Amino acid sequence: MSARDQILSQLKRNEQPAEHPGPWRSRRNFADLAERFTDTLNAGKGEVFRAASYEEALDQIDTILHELQAKRVVVNDTAPLEGMDVKERWPDFEWFTAGKSEGDIKSFCADADVGLSGADAALAETGSVIISSGPGKSRLATLLPPVHLAIVPTSILTSDILTWTAARQGKPGANMVLVSGPSKTADIEQVLAIGVHGPKRFIVVLYDD
């Protein structure tokens, strides 16, 4: 028997069944997920507006868009806005819907005032919104406009990313990002700059559903 066969034989004799770890249980417990999410995102220079219902959230979006004096808005065709006729709901703005509108979305996003999106999940621990790519979900809509506006139901709030990934089913998209506020960077002297590599403002309308 060769030295290689001896080693393999020894390993096989010592082989034991593997003990798999149990399901993930988060150690992060927050009395109020919405309150924790709001406080954490605000601390990260983001902005949160609360709404008592979906309809109230849509009215809040209308108010925000007018206060921003927006003219061109790009929207991802995903829940909770999936299938909505945004032009009929908000006729005061020029719209481009990802995956539906004709034309070059990159050119539109480059001149858009606001990018409007939904979210896959919202993490209370870090004040983050998870957004994935896919049909009707353009990364350009959330990266190029100077303002990213997200509408988020409280039902997709969870404590932390490990709890979310443990409970998630299905395959991930080609791209998934965690947005925890506006784009931020700092130079060697730790001087914070906002909006250098992405939106200067990140606004979440969080509504009870």
Q: What is the mean pLDDT of residues 44-59?
A: 97
Report yes or no on 20 lying in a domain. Answer: no
The answer, yes or no, to whether residue 14 has pLDDT greater than 70, is yes
Question: What is the tally of structural domains in the chain?
Answer: 1
Considering 11-20, 83-92, 130-139, 186-195, the range whose residues carry the highest mean pLDDT is: 83-92
Report yes or no on 21 lying in a domain. Answer: no
Residue 99 in tokens: 């995956």
Q: What is the pLDDT of residue 25?
A: 65
Report yes or no on 70 lying in a domain. Answer: yes
Kindly report the three-state secondary structure assignment for every residue of 82-115.
CCCCHHHHCCCCEEEECCCCCCCHHHHHHHCCEE
Report yes or no on 4 lying in a domain. Answer: no
Report yes or no on 152 lying in a domain. Answer: yes
Confidence of residue 84 (pLDDT cuts 50, 70, 90): very high
- Distance of alpha carbon 115 from the chain centroid: 12
Closest CA to 119 of 200, 30, 203: 203
Report yes or no on 156 lying in a domain. Answer: yes
CATH number of the domain encompassing residue 48: 3.40.50.10420
Q: Is the pTM of this model over 0.75?
A: yes
Order of strands across the sheet that contains 128-132: 157-158, 121-123, 128-132, 176-179
Q: Provide the β-strand partners of residue 116.
A: 75, 149
Confidence of residue 162 (pLDDT cuts 50, 70, 90): confident
Report yes or no on 116 lying in a domain. Answer: yes
The answer, yes or no, to whether residue 64 has pLDDT greater than 80, is yes
Q: What is the pLDDT of residue 188?
A: 62
Confidence of residue 184 (pLDDT cuts 50, 70, 90): low
The answer, yes or no, to whether residue 43 has pLDDT greater than 70, is yes
176, 132 Cβ separation under 8 angstroms: yes
- What is the average pLDDT value for the chain, to the nearest integer? 89
Report yes or no on 165 lying in a domain. Answer: yes
Q: Which residue has the higher pLDDT, 90 or 172?
A: 90
**Which domain does 136 fall in, by range?**
30-207
Q: What is the pLDDT of residue 146?
A: 96
Determine how many CB atoms are found less than 10 A away from the CB of residue 111.
Answer: 12
